């Protein structure tokens, strides 16, 4: 097993099925940009094979399918059962929920036990202003379908000062009433946010989120697994919520995440644009590919930040959020 000086190793693999997305969220892509697939994306067979190799070589325990928008990928129907059959302890999916209706049966029947659905507001107009694609009612109905199908649903929200700060409580209430766990994600200084002052203007800290919640609810901090990115809180008799506090409580020193982009690059860290091309391994016999992969994993582990997220020009939709 490859381990670094902080005792970190890769246990979680996030696989981007495509860089394409049917949203163009203000914090993810600059104005006027359309989200396209990356050049030379791996096909379903290549991607599944590469995941199998990485799982073996790195000792991956948890797998998350993401993007871009993973449900938009034509590979999705082929790759999901193949990855489910790897027998990993935990397989999950992060989606914006727009296409759940079309994929509901496949998702429910796949054996997937949990799903993260991204939603930043319950207000239809602001939804359109932030996501710049899709519609709110479709996401809400997708959540219901997943809950009715027995999947555990977590909701991801990025609170931002000028856009949805007043949604911190309504979103929590909505999730608590439906037994869904809300995850607030502190805005990350990525991509175009690193230029200009949009990030500084919009960033809402963990303390501010907790203060807003404290106006209505009593809560206590609970234990989270050592490599969890979220700080987790319990509201007695009502449920849980979490905060992914990239800035306020960085989790780099216990980060176990590895990312595989849709065009076959490994990323060891969201805050480092260094990437490692695995496509050449597709042409090698398996034992040689495994040996080369070990070398790439050492380099990817070395790319991790020691202490905190420094920000990166790379955008999340490209690496896989
Ligand atoms: N399309 C899928 C979705 O919407 O969930 C998966 C990809 S998306 C990049 C994954 C998550 O990253 C979303 O919850 C999104 O809100 C979050 N995200 C993207 N850019 C971000 C940023 N700059 N700061 C914080 N979260 C961000």
pLDDT value of position 320: 61
The pLDDT score that the predictor gives to residue 278 is 98
Pocket test for ligand 1, best of 181, 316, 318, 320 (most atoms within 8 A of CB): 316
Given pLDDT bands bounded at 50, 70 and 90, which one contains residue 64? Answer: very high
CB atoms within 10 A of CB 318: 23
Q: What would the mean pLDDT of 262-279 be, rounded to a whole number?
A: 94
Nearest CA to ligand 1 atom 23: 188
Determine, yes or no, domain membership for 3: no
Q: Is residue 206 part of a domain?
A: yes
The reply to whether 226 falls in a domain is yes
Cross-strand partners of 62: 12, 90
Contact status, residue 244 vs residue 206, Cβ threshold 8 Å: no
Lateral strand order in the sheet of 220-222: 220-222, 230-235, 239-244, 181-185, 152-157, 114-118, 90-95, 62-66, 12-16, 257-260, 265-267, 276-277
Phi-psi region of 290 (alpha: psi -120 to 50; beta: other; left: phi over 0): alpha
Determine whether the shortest distance from the Cβ of 139 to ligand 1 is under 6 A: no
What is the distance in A from the centroid of ligand 1 to the CA of 317? 7
pLDDT of 46 strictly over 60: yes
pLDDT at 225: 75
To test the ligand 1 pocket, which listed residue (21, 72, 96, 118) has its Cβ within 8 A of the most ligand atoms? 118
Q: Verify whether ligand 1 is closer than 6 Å to residue 29 (CB atom).
A: no
Q: For residues 125 and 176, give the distance between their C-alpha atoms in angstroms, rounded to a whole number.
A: 23
Residue 95 belongs to some domain of the structure:
yes
Cβ distance 60 to 52 under 8 Å? no
Res 311: pLDDT: 59
Average pLDDT over residues 35-41: 87
User: Could you tell me the distance, in angstroms and rounded to a whole number, from the CA of residue 55 to the centre of ligand 1?
Assistant: 24
What pLDDT does 4 receive?
86
Report the nearest-CA residue for atom 15 of ligand 1.
118
Mean pLDDT, rounded, of the chain: 93
* Beta carbon of 316 within 6 Å of any ligand 1 atom: yes
Structure tokens at 81: 């059962």
184 CA from centroid of ligand 1 (Å): 11
The label of the residue with tokens 């700080």 reads: 231
Percent of the chain with pLDDT over 90: 79
How confident is the model at residue 270, as a pLDDT? 87
Q: How far is the CA of 67 from the centre of ligand 1 (A)?
A: 9
C-alpha to C-alpha distance for 143 and 141, rounded to whole angstroms: 5
Q: What is the pLDDT of residue 163?
A: 96
Query: Could you tell me the residue range of the domain that residue 116 belongs to?
Result: 12-318
Confidence of residue 50 (pLDDT cuts 50, 70, 90): very high
Mean pLDDT on 203-217: 98
Helix (H, G, I), strand (E, B) or coil at 250: coil
| CB of 91 shorter than 6 A to ligand 1 | no
Q: What is the CATH number of the domain that holds 81?
A: 3.20.20.70
Asked if residue 292 has pLDDT above 90, the reply is yes
pLDDT tens column, 110-133 = 999 999 999 999 999 999 999 999
Q: Are β-strands 239-244 and 257-260 bridged in parallel, bridged antiparallel, or unpaired?
A: unpaired
How do strand 265-267 and strand 257-260 relate by DSSP bridges? antiparallel
Q: Which two tokens stand for residue 106?
A: 């496949």
Q: How far apart are CA 91 and CA 152, in angstroms?
A: 12
Beta-sheet pairing, 230-235 with 62-66: unpaired
Compute the distance between CA of residue 321 and CA of residue 318 in angstroms, rounded to an integer.
8
More confident position, 311 or 263? 263
pLDDT confidence bin for 1, thresholds 50/70/90: confident
CB burial string 146-167: b at 16+ within 10 A, e below: beebebebbbbbbbbeebbeeb
Out of 5-9, 23-27, 180-184, 239-243, least confident range: 5-9
The Cα–Cα gap between 23 and 68 comes to 9
Q: Whose alpha carbon is nearest atom 4 of ligand 1? A: 96
Band of residue 309 on the pLDDT scale cut at 50, 70, 90? low
Residue 1 within any structural domain of the chain: no
Q: Where are the alpha helices (DSSP H) in the chain?
A: 44-58, 76-84, 100-109, 124-131, 136-148, 168-177, 198-202, 206-214, 286-302, 316-319
Confirm if 317 and 29 have CB atoms less than 8 A apart: yes
pLDDT, one tens digit per residue, over 282-291 is: 999 999 999 9
Measured from the Cα of 94, ligand 1's closest atom is 5
Nearest Cα neighbor of 29 from 59, 85, 67 is 67
Per-residue pLDDT tens digits for 221-257: 998 776 778 999 999 999 999 999 989 998 888 899 9
pLDDT of residue 314: 60
CA of 119 to the centre of ligand 1 (A): 9
In a domain, 107, yes or no: yes
Is the pLDDT at 258 greater than 70, yes or no? Answer: yes
Per-residue confidence band for 317, with pLDDT thresholds at 50, 70 and 90: low
Q: Are 227 and 12 in contact (CB under 8 A)?
A: yes
The structural domain count of the chain equals 1
Looking at residue 6, what is its pLDDT? Answer: 82
Residue 158 Cβ contacting ligand 1 at under 6 Å: yes
User: Is 7 part of any domain?
Assistant: no
Buried b (16+ CB within 10 A) or exposed e, 59-88: ebebbbbbbbbbbbbebbeebbebbeeeee
Q: What are the tokens at 14?
A: 């996030």
What mean pLDDT is predicted for residues 132-160? 97
* 4 lies in some domain: no
Nearest CA residue ID for atom 14, ligand 1: 118
The predicted structure's pLDDT at residue 310: 63
């Amino acid at each position: 097993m490859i381990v670094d000086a902080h005792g970190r190793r890769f246990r979680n693999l996030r696989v981007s099925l495509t860089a394409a997305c049917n949203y163009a969220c203000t914090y993810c892509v600059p104005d006027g940009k359309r989200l396209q697939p990356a050049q030379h994306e791996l096909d379903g067979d290549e991607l599944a094979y590469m995941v199998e190799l990485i799982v073996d070589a790195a000792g991956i325990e948890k797998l998350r399918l993401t993007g871009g928008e993973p449900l938009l990928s034509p590979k999705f129907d082929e790759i999901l059962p193949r990855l489910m059959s790897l027998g990993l302890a935990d397989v999950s999916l992060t989606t914006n929920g727009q296409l759940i209706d079309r994929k509901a049966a496949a998702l429910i029947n796949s054996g997937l036990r949990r799903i993260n659905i991204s939603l930043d507001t319950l207000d239809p107009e602001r939804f359109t202003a932030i996501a710049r694609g899709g519609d709110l009612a479709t996401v809400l109905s997708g959540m219901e379908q997943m809950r009715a199908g027995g999947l555990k649903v977590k909701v991801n929200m990025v609170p931002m000062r000028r856009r949805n700060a007043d949604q911190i409580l309504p979103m929590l209430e909505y999730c608590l009433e439906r037994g869904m766990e809300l995850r607030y994600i502190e805005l990350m200084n990525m991509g175009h946010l690193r230029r200009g002052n949009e990030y500084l203007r919009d960033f809402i800290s963990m303390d501010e989120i907790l203060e807003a919640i404290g106006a209505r609810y009593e809560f206590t901090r609970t234990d989270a697994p050592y490599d969890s990115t979220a700080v987790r809180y319990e509201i007695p008799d009502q449920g849980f919520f979490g905060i992914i506090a990239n800035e306020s409580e960085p989790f780099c020193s216990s980060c176990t995440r590895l990312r595989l982009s849709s065009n076959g690059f490994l990323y060891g860290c969201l805050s480092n644009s260094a990437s490692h091309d695995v496509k050449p391994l597709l042409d090698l016999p398996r034992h040689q590919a495994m040996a080369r992969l070990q070398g790439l994993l050492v380099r990817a582990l070395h790319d991790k930040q020691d202490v905190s997220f420094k920000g990166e020009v790379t955008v999340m939709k490209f690496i896989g959020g």
